[in-house]
Amino acid sequence: MLSTVVFFITATLGFVCLASIYGESKRDNRSLINKYLTVIIAFQALRFTVHGFAQGYPSPITGQYTNFLDVCAVALMPCFFLYFRDIVHEKAFEAGNMVHFLAPVLLVCIYLAKQFVGSDIGVMIRKSFLISSILFYGLYAFSGFKLLIKHVWRRKSEINTIQKQNQLIRNWTIILYVSFIAIFLIRITTGVLIHQDYEYDTHYLWISALIWVGIFLKILLTPEILYGYNFLNKTIDTVTEKLALHTVWKVDGTATPITIEKDRKIEEKLSSSLNVYIHTIEDLSFHKHAFRNPAFGLEDIAGAINIPFSHVHHIFKFHCHESFSDYKKIVRIHDATKLLENGYLEEKTIESLSETVGFSSYVTFYLAFKSITGMSTQEYAKKFKFGMSTRLV
């Protein structure tokens, strides 16, 4: 059957996603923002694998497995909500989050109890499970919508690179949220309205499988979505032998067209050593903390790496997606986050922090920090003050 092929394709893509996530984490020494998306992917890959075998080799045993997994899918709603929440407030795993799974476990236990009672009571249990599931889904769908529209879909930044990441995550969460709602509506319309059956109907499960194919392909094609809003800091922290801000720099071509002959000649001179110069600029920025000096500018960079000022100006004009001013903000805010993670505010003030990293004005520092990290300095520091300092990067 065609649906069997769809199930196996979906399952295969799910397992490929898991392998890709594991490979990215090992290669760059990074992990996901949280583990909830991994759980969702693993569950769906397993579920469609079992459904594929159940359709290819139907038997009472495979039927029981598929039914059990379909019922357990109710536990995915908290996973989605917690994933959305942790995109906004990135932090380590909290045992308290398990409270969200008490209701799904209870619902599954109630549903499984129908096999130990009579048929009339069994039908009543199935109806009660369905009604409870609808209310449960509705609660988390509403809570997720409120969270996303307030903290994700309306999130803004003045930094070009951050804007692109915001848009990427905005599109991704919209796709994920809409897919959730669509899959739930498919369950209601096909199972209850069409077949008048309170069991999980699988006649149209292939539609849900195709939706998951789209989700898995999105993850494989744009793995940046897995690292959340704080991807700049994560990249800076983990990359040493290549460009850390690979989304900021443009080395294979220019960020803006070159139209003046003078600039073309400089481009020719820089072409063979461009990567080296940019890597040196990043070393000055993130390891030598050159921008803690408020007056450190293009002339100082030119002197530090021993090339003409015009060449440094050319690099930022034609090979950087950010203005020099915004580049300095990215560097200084990264510096500030590292100091906050190491307990800077335990002994010193936020005003002192803004001066330490090179800002001449506290207001400018506050706005830049909020624009780049999406939270205030106090909110950021709290993640590391109350036992949440395990950084999943």
Amino acid 391: pLDDT:
35
Amino acid 29: pLDDT:
47
Give the mean model confidence (pLDDT) for residues 115-125.
73
pTM of the predicted model as reported, rounded to 2 decimal places: 0.78
pLDDT > 70: percent of the chain: 85
Amino acid 390: pLDDT:
34
| Most confident of the ranges 227-236, 244-253, 261-270 | 261-270
The residue ranges of every structural domain in the chain are 2-227, 236-385
State the chain's mean pLDDT as an integer. 84
Amino acid 369: pLDDT:
93
Confidence of residue 161 (pLDDT cuts 50, 70, 90): confident
Give the mean model confidence (pLDDT) for residues 291-297.
95
Amino acid 224: pLDDT:
77
Q: Which residues contact 332 (CB under 8 A, 6 or more apart)?
A: 291, 292, 357, 358, 359, 365, 368
Confidence of residue 234 (pLDDT cuts 50, 70, 90): low
Quickly tell me which residue has 């950010």 as its tokens. 322
Q: Tell me, which fold does domain 2-227 have in CATH?
A: Rhopdopsin 7-helix transmembrane proteins (1.20.1070)
* CATH (residue range 236-385): 1.10.10.60
Amino acid 175: pLDDT:
94
Q: What is the pLDDT of residues 308-329, one digit of tens each?
A: 999 999 999 999 999 999 999 9
Instruction: Say yes or no to pLDDT of 176 above 90.
Output: yes
Give the mean model confidence (pLDDT) for residues 148-165.
87
- Under 8 Å between Cβ of 112 and 176: no
Quickly tell me which residue has 């900021």 as its tokens. 248
Q: What is the pLDDT of residues 26-58, one digit of tens each?
A: 555 455 446 888 999 999 999 999 999 988 888
Confidence of residue 1 (pLDDT cuts 50, 70, 90): confident
Confidence of residue 231 (pLDDT cuts 50, 70, 90): low
Which two tokens mark 186? Answer: 């498919």
Amino acid 202: pLDDT:
63
Amino acid 35: pLDDT:
81
